[in-house]
Chain A
């Protein structure tokens, strides 16, 4: 399978503490990399380093190493769901969803947006300002992105604790969706304190690796 990310000898020192060092791994299409480790092990920092939001992670991070073009911009192919869900509270779920597509320069028919919102159970709330929604519903607004049919444009998901604040059925639904996405050739790098079981899942424990 095609390698989409190769990371070599990653190292992160924060506040004079070495979180991990000499960490090397590869992620291929169809694979789910599950980062594990106790709180403060550097999982979030690693993810932020991978998408280029922080320079605290040193080492060589190479997205799409097999693509010949060096100027390949990886971010346009990534959905990054961060700790802070990037849900603008003054905007409705529909507007939030449309904006994240706009930032990626993807145009989709309205019906697809509605379909994604319906899947995460926000139908009937699409025009309500997001600050009137519950914490779990706000998480779902952010996660609705993952249910959009954009596999052609987005081939990588970087998910930071996507399963927090969700109820049992939503956790199940999202896990299924992650497995489907990987099954269709997507690559997922995620952190979670929930287990996710499948042949496609590979675990990486930051504590052991560090």
Chain B
């Protein structure tokens, strides 16, 4: 294919835990009352993960192979596993102040809650202008450098709600604004697994795995890949423990074959002469060909703040089942394009039917005292 492939992102799916509604209901009665001004909240996501279907024994047969190093190039049949949706969660803790979580696998995102007083207001509120407001905030943070200092600001989301506290019905609509470039971004090369890109780049010192050279080339390479990924992972663990926003980072390889990871703010000075500019983010998607939503505004930052026209992206994915497994990570080479002075955005979540539309959660069975009395022991 001569035509470069369009880079497509997996949208977030919202996940509201019932405790969020419980706290919102309390706040509505005791704090906000009839005030419908916006309130800062926070959500969180965690790394995407492949879900092995063999254990579930369902539809798709789990064929051999897979794992690190298995070729997953575009068009070819990808690994025989499904993924869990990329989820952005909110719960009772979402009303506390955004702060740094230490060594957590959950990555915080600031958001804005707009709770309306009536269902009519919920319907009537100008959704286009709400989205535009948040988009402008993100865009301002990109231009001002605030987002470079704390890239979590790129993920600002919007949550429009109406809490019918008499019926315990909660109406809601999420928006995850993504700033649109003039031209959609393209992939310069097919998407590759992390091990294929960094496992193959061996420098200098032989690693423990090198003893495997006598077992044949393929095995040697996969051993080396494992060793390299492990070095990358431990460098990331170091970074996670010290960074304010460990969900976004810069990456470079070192002379000795190791890796260095730094905060996004250092973009201007981090990379050596002629070195491939490589950015990384903790990816809520688990798809073998697509990154998750947080990358969109991250790329907007990189393209706008540092005028990058081409970057390599490490979509960092930690296995939910094993702490030390990052083999589901993928690498993209992305061709960036420019942004308008006042860029447009998208982001309203699709409803049950696949079109943008609000959702409703009926918690009467779990919260309504009269219904509870029926099930009480």
The judgment on whether A and B are partners is no
